[in-house]
Structure 1
Amino acid sequence: MRYLSTRNAGPGSAAYSFEDVLLAGLAEDGGLFVPETLPALEQAALRGLAGLPYAEVAARVVGLFAGEAFEAADLRRLTEAAYGAFRHAAVAPLVQLDERLWLLELFHGPTLAFKDLALQLVGRLFDTVLARRHEHVTIIGATSGDTGSAALAACRDRAALDIFMLYPHGRISEVQRRQMTTVDAANTHAVAIEGTFDDCQDIVKALFADRALRQELNLSAVNSINFARVAAQIVYYISAGLALGAASGRAISFSVPTGNFGNVYAGHLARAMGLPIERLVIGTNANDVLARYLTSGTMSLAPVVPSLSPSMDIQVASNFERLLFELKGRNGTAVANDLTVFRETGVLAADDQGWRRASQLFAAHRVDDAATLATIADTYRCSGVLIDPHTAVGVAAARANMSEETDTPMIALATAHPAKFPEAVARASGIQPPVPEPLADIMERRERVTMLPNDFAAVRGFLRRHARRPRPNRGAA
Structure 2
Amino acid sequence: TSGDTGGSAIRAVESLGSSSRLGLVVLLPVGRVSAYQRVAMTTSQCDRVRVASVTMDSDQLDDVIRTATLQRQRRTADGDQCDGTLLCTQNSANWGRVLFQIPAYFYAYFSATRCIGQQVQFFVPTGGCGNLTAACLARAMGLPIATCAANNQNAAAHQLISEGRFLPRPSVCTTSVAMDIANPYNIPRLLSLLAGSRSRAAELSRRFDSKQPVELTEQERAKLANLGVSSFVATDADCQATVVKAHSELGYLACPHTACALLPALEPSSADADKVADSTGANSGANLAPPRVVFATAHPAKFADLYRARGLPTAPAETAAEALERLSRLPERCLSWESDSIDDCVAKLHGLIDHLLAQSLSA
What is the TM-score of this pair, normalised by structure 2? Answer: 0.83
Matched, 1:232 2:114: no
1:345 positional shift: 4.6
Residue number among 166, 172, 182 corresponding to 1:315 in the alignment: 182
State the distance in 2 between where 1:253 and 1:269 align. 15
State the distance in 2 between where 1:305 and 1:418 align. 22
CA 1:222–1:330 in structure 2 vs 1: closer, same or farther (change >3 Å)? farther
- The match for 1:200 is 61
Residue number among 194, 217, 228 corresponding to 1:351 in the alignment: 217
- The match for 2:273 is 402
- The match for 1:276 is 144
3-state SS, counterpart of residue 160 of structure 2: helix
Residue number among 170, 183, 188 corresponding to 1:303 in the alignment: 170
Matched, 1:465 2:355: yes
Once the two structures are superposed, the pairs formed by residues 15-414 of structure 1 within 5 Å of their partners are 143-156=1-14, 158=16, 159-210=20-71, 211-213=73-75, 216=81, 217-246=85-114, 248-277=116-145, 279-329=146-196, 331=198, 333-361=199-227, 362-398=229-265, 399=267, 400=270, 401-403=272-274, 407-414=289-296
What is the TM-score of this pair, normalised by structure 1? Answer: 0.64
Q: Are the equivalent residues in 2 in contact too, given 1:157–1:185 (CA < 8 A)?
A: no
1:194 positional shift: 0.9
Residue number among 408, 426, 442 corresponding to 2:327 in the alignment: 442
Q: Are the equivalent residues in 2 in contact too, given 1:426–1:433 (CA < 8 A)?
A: no
Which one-letter code corresponds to 2:12 in the other structure?
A
Q: Are the equivalent residues in 2 in contact too, given 1:285–1:393 (CA < 8 A)?
A: yes
Which one-letter code corresponds to 2:157 in the other structure?
L
Cα-to-partner distance string for 1:57-101 (whole Å, 9 max, x where unaligned): xxxxxxxxxxxxxxxxxxxxxxxxxxxxxxxxxxxxxxxxxxxxx
Q: Share of identical aligned residues, percent?
A: 28
State the distance in 2 between where 1:240 and 1:429 align. 32
Structure 2: stretches of 5+ with no match in the other structure: 277-287, 340-344
Q: Are the equivalent residues in 2 in contact too, given 1:151–1:222 (CA < 8 A)?
A: yes
3-state SS, counterpart of residue 248 of structure 1: coil
State the distance in 1 between where 2:211 and 2:252 align. 44
RMSD of aligned alpha carbons:
2.4
Which one-letter code corresponds to 2:215 in the other structure?
A
State the distance in 1 between where 2:64 and 2:236 align. 29
3-state SS, counterpart of residue 123 of structure 2: strand
- The match for 1:432 is 314
Q: Are the equivalent residues in 1 in contact too, given 2:113–2:291 (CA < 8 A)?
A: no
3-state SS, counterpart of residue 91 of structure 2: coil
Q: Which segment drifts farther, 209-218 or 184-193?
A: 209-218
1:213 positional shift: 4.6
Q: Are the equivalent residues in 2 in contact too, given 1:257–1:413 (CA < 8 A)?
A: yes
- The match for 1:57 is none
State the distance in 1 between where 2:309 and 2:291 align. 30
Which one-letter code corresponds to 1:264 in the other structure?
L
